Structure 1
Amino acid sequence: MRALVAELHRRHRLLAWAGWVALGFLAFSLAAMALDGRQIHGVSVWTKPAKFAASFIPWFWTLAWAWGVLAPAARRGVLAGLVLWVTLGAAGFEQVWITWRAAAGLPSHFAEDPLGQLMFSLMGLGAALLVAMAALLGLLVLWRGDAGQPRAWRLAVGLGLLVAGVLGGVTGFAMGGAGSPLVGGSGTPGLPPFFWARDGGDLRVAHFLAIHAMQALPGFWLLTRAGAWPVTAASLAWAGLSVAALRLAQAGLPLSP
């Protein structure tokens, strides 16, 4: 474990530390959840900051690991720098705002007050930038990956980031355009930790599948050591699964028990 952490910091120290900061936000949110009984739509006010912090931990650490798959010159390039600073800025803005709104007992998403509505629009821009930067890093890995590393591994990392970026954006915009992550049903939250709707469509399922392509596809290669064609097929299958989950949710069908 110590060697894994050291390697993560070697690949990209700033992104590695960003993951630890997100872990701190998660611990704070869970502690607040245990002490603060306030709720929004049937769940703790601290659920949203906890979920975002939990998602940012693997996001930052996956990007840090992917940095080590770039060619050395590409890691120091302008595009890589753009990915780094836009990612840190957008993620920091979203996490701080969501946590502040939780502390105030107000929703950060689909808010009804003027400030909340304005900031929700800005959060939409921040989310779009995050997924765009993931897709850009994926393209960089595919275009300027380290030739000394296996081609199928570079393909798995690059396609994972690309699928996450593109479909993460598609599913995110679907939620924003619908005005709610829920389609039909009563909105009764399902089981923790995700609380996906149990009696209607929930667009968050497709969004979850989409953004975690960046871990699923490299994980597939690590488990199978498959060649380029199986990795490509797995990428298409994961993308198809995300799209199918999106269409089911749009039809009002639940996937959560």
Structure 2
Amino acid sequence: MPSWRSWHRPLVVFSAVMALGAVASAVGLAVDDRVLVDAPIWAKPFKFYLSFTVYGLSLAWMLAQSTRGRRTGWWAGNVVVATSLVEMAIITGQVVRGKRSHFNVETPFDQALFTAMGITVIVLWAATLVIGLLLLRTRFADRATAWAIRGGVVIALVGAGIGFLMTLPSAEQRAGGMENPDVIGAHSVGVPDGGPSMPLTGWSTTGGDLRIPHFVGMHALQLIPLFLIALVVLAPRSARFRDAGLRLRLVRVVTVGYAGLVALTTWQALRGQPLIRPDAVTLVATGVLLVAVAAGVGVALRRPPAPAPVQQKSEPRESEPSFRSKEFTA
């Protein structure tokens, strides 16, 4: 594994800045009692700062693994930094003004800011796609590492792409039935934003919420590689996990299962169904996914480990001294 000193430096610095922003937002949560769309006004930037912290570190580490197009990857990482900083500046600035950052078209200025955010998100997604393509072309010595990194990037791109669905006018907005005409787009499906929600996440408890698959998908970038790291950490303590073939099979199962989870939560949200109130069809689909993942893990664990290659002892050459010769025997 490359040293942490070889990580993409601008992304590392960016992550440190985002961590400081999360601390500042936490202070805002403690001292600022303003509420926006039925949530503490500093909750959104706090969650975004935290998310960008881990997102930036993940990309910085992954770019260090790349062996193809390193200069292109360096510039793509810089684009991620620049666009993310613009987005967070807009989100934070709107909080200071007491305004919504997302879906706000109340004034020409608010609309311009929301449009700028949309452009930065598209450019950010494209830069991440470039990084993903470079990683797809990279040759990894360990196949499980290749699967974890590539699978995490691909699923994260899908999760980020789900965010574009939120910017589209909802069915109520298209019908002209929304109470607030200054808003275009929504997190929730089937209900207005700002209704009853889950603690911490703010996800709707009365309708679908596209932030759920967006969140789950984007954090595949961290969770799937972390799963592999856990297997590697367990290897010295368990002979089973020293088998590279077993680690590869388990990572494959988890990657496919994670992709299924993103698809399932997206399907549930688009049907206007709260995460915590699944209907019978969703429960059956969840059960099928869990059984499939469990079966995959079982098959992976039952397969015998690949036999270690047998190393043949080479005969000592005449020109080299043998430790069995008289000069080296007591």
TM-aligned CA deviation for residue 133 of structure 1: 2.3
Q: What count of residue pairs does the alignment treat as equivalent?
A: 246
If each structure's helix is expressed as a fraction of its own residues, which one has the higher value? Answer: 1
Contact 1:167-1:211 at 8 Å conserved across structures: yes
Partners of 1:135 and 1:166 in 2: CA distance: 10
1:93 match: 86
2:256 match: 236
Q: Percent identity of the aligned residues?
A: 31
TM-aligned CA deviation for residue 21 of structure 1: 0.1
Partners of 1:48 and 1:8 in 2: CA distance: 30
2:266 maps to a residue whose letter is L
Classify the secondary structure of the residue corresponding to 1:68: helix
**Structure 1 residues 66-105: aligned runs within 5 Å:** 66-71=62-67, 74-75=69-70, 77=71, 79-105=72-98
Output the aligned Cα RMSD. Answer: 2.1
**Structure 1 residues 162-177: aligned runs within 5 Å:** 162-169=154-161, 171-177=162-168
Partners of 2:5 and 2:273 in 1: CA distance: 42
1:251 match: 271
TM-aligned CA deviation for residue 215 of structure 1: 0.9
Structure exhibiting the larger radius of gyration computed from Cα positions: 2
CA deviation profile, 1:208-227 (whole Å, cap 9, x unmatched): 01101111211222223544
2:114 maps to a residue whose letter is F
Deviates most, 160-169 or 217-226: 217-226
Go from structure 1 to structure 2 and tell me whether the alpha carbon gap of 1:102 and 1:14 turns closer, same or farther (over 3 Å shift).
same
Contact 1:156-1:218 at 8 Å conserved across structures: yes
Go from structure 1 to structure 2 and tell me whether the alpha carbon gap of 1:18 and 1:8 turns closer, same or farther (over 3 Å shift).
farther
Q: TM-score, normalised by structure 2?
A: 0.69
TM-aligned CA deviation for residue 251 of structure 1: 0.8
Contact 1:8-1:16 at 8 Å conserved across structures: no
TM-aligned CA deviation for residue 155 of structure 1: 2.1
1:135 match: 129
Structure 1 segments unaligned to the other structure (5+ residues)? 1-6
1:243 maps to a residue whose letter is A
TM-aligned CA deviation for residue 115 of structure 1: 1.6
2:262 maps to a residue whose letter is S
Classify the secondary structure of the residue corresponding to 2:167: helix
Contact 2:18-2:49 at 8 Å conserved across structures: yes
Structure 2 segments unaligned to the other structure (5+ residues)? 171-184, 233-245, 278-330
